[in-house]
Chains A and B, each alone.
Chain A
Amino acid sequence: AQSVTQPDIHITVSEGASLELRCNYSYGATPYLFWYVQSPGQGLQLLLKYFSGDTLVQGIKGFEAEFKRSQSSFNLRKPSVHWSDAAEYFCAVGSYNTDKLIFGTGTRLQVFP
C-alpha cells in the first residue's frame, strides 16, 4: 500500500536560512510525488510535482525537490526562507491508475525574523 511519511512535525528556521523538509514514500511502482503548501485559512496549493525524468524538480516560490529512488525520498528545499513561507507543507504520492492522493501528516514551518 502507498504511504507517505513526513518525519518532522514542526520546523523552525530563521528568515534567510536554508530549508529542507523531509518526505519518505512507500510505493511498489514508479511513484508520482507532490508537495503542497497550506497557508492558514487557505486550501492547498501545489508547489511542485515529480512524474519522471530529471530528479531535481523546480517549483513555484523558489522551492525545489529532489527525487531519490534509492532512499525513497522526495525532500523539499529552499535556499533562503522568507517570513511568508510560514505554513504547513504536505508531501503526497499518487499512482497512474488512480487519481487519489495519499498525503503525509504535514510539517509546520515557522519562520523567525
Chain B
Amino acid sequence: DSGVTQTPKHLITATGQRVTLRCSPRSGDLSVYWYQQSLDQGLQFLIQYYNGEERAKGNILERFSAQQFPDLHSELNLSSLELGDSALYFCASSVGAEGQGPYNEQFFGPGTRLTVL
C-alpha cells in the first residue's frame, strides 16, 4: 500500500459526460501528479500540482482540468468525454521539495479505471 488513495476505483459513463476523479496523497506529500495509461498512448504524464499551485503540465487535453485543494487532495475533471478517454488514470504523490527534481520519489495510487461508452 503506497498510502495514495484514489476514488472511485471504476467509473463507467457515456460520451459527452463529465466526471471527477479524486486523489488523496500520502500524509506529508505536497506534490500530486496525474498520469493517464491507455492502450494506444501508454503511460503519459498529464499535470502536476505542488501545494495548491500548478507546477508542470504534460499532454493534458483542454477538456481536462485539475486542481489541488488546501487539504492537498486533488481532483481531475474530465469533460465532454470521448470514447478515446477510456483509460486508467493514476495519481501519484511526492514530497515535492523545490529543486529536487526526480529525487522526489513518486508513490502511485491504485488508479481509477474510466470506461466511456
In the complex, the answer to whether A94 meets B102 with C-beta atoms within 8 Å is yes
| A100 cross-chain contacts in B, Cβ below 8 A | 33, 45, 48, 56, 58
A45–B105 Cα gap in the complex (Å)?
Answer: 11
Q: Digit string of B55-96 for contact with A (CB within 8 Å is 1, else 0)?
A: 110100000000000000000000000000000001010101
Interface size bucket, B side?
20 to 34
A residues near B55, Cβ cutoff 8 Å: 99
Contact among B94, B103, B109 for A51, CB-based, below 8 A:
B103
A96 near B102 with CB under 8 A, answer yes
CA separation between A104 and B56, bound complex, in Å? 20
Within residues 2 to 38 of chain A, which ones have a CB less than 8 A from any CB in chain B? 32, 34, 36
The number of residues on chain A lying at the interface, defined by a beta carbon within 8 Å of a beta carbon of chain B, is 25
Q: Is the CB of B102 within 8 A of A43?
A: no
Binary CB contact string for chain B from 94 to 117 against chain A (1 if under 8 A, 0 otherwise): 101000011111111111000000
Per-position 1/0 for B10-53, Cβ under 8 A of A: 00000000000000000000010101000000111100100000
Are B102's CB and A51's CB within 8 A? yes
Task: Point out the residues of chain A lying under 8 angstroms from B43, CB to CB.
Answer: 90, 103, 106
A46 and B105: CB pair below 8 A? yes
CB neighbours of A51 from chain B (8 A): 102-103
Q: Are B56 and A98 in contact (CB under 8 A)?
A: yes
**Chain A residues whose CB sits within 8 angstroms of the CB of B90 once the complex forms:** 43-44
Q: CB within 8 Å of B: which residues of A?
A: 32, 34, 36, 41-46, 49, 51, 90, 94-106
B: which residues have CB within 8 A of A?
Answer: 2, 4, 31, 33, 35, 42-45, 48, 55-56, 58, 90, 92, 94, 96, 101-111
